[in-house]
Homo-oligomer: A and B are copies of this chain.
Amino acid sequence: MSAVFTHRFKVRDYECDMQGVVNNSVYQNYLEHARHEYLLSKGVSFAEWTAADIHLVVVRAELDYLKPLMSGDGFDVTVRVVKEGRLRLVFQQDIIRLADGVTVVKARIVGTALKANKRPYFPDALNALVEQA
């Protein structure tokens, strides 16, 4: 398993819905951005790979919503990576509220890579992520 990578965020008001809390779908935005920042920190650019027709895709997402985030809350999103089988990476991600250190969302995101022909494969650069961990 990789070391823990952390990216810091702050809730923006437009991310909150009529309940006055961050909408459920927005947490997937946070988790994705933290994963892409993690990949960048390892030299993998999601945008460059997309332009080169290598598509990093999510095949399964599991999210446990433990507490809501609200306007102005600061929070960290963590990223840990582990390989599953020959072709998949599992990202274990927590969203942790800064004010009290409480984990507000726990997520398990399973991803793979697809070539232009839509076939799954596993680029060496992704193996490096797991090995260097």
Contact = CB atoms under 8 A, between A and B. Distances in A.
A99 interface: no
Majority-rule SS of A interface residues: mixed
How often does this chain occur in the complex, in copies? 4
Interface stretch (A60-68, A79-87, A89-97, A123-131): A60-68
Contacts of A18: 13, 16-18, 20, 47, 50, 71
Task: Give the residue among A18, A26, A68, A72 with the most B Cβ atoms within 10 A.
Answer: A18
Nearest to A72: B47
A32 B27 CA distance: 14
B25 A14 contact: yes
A52 B72 CA distance: 17
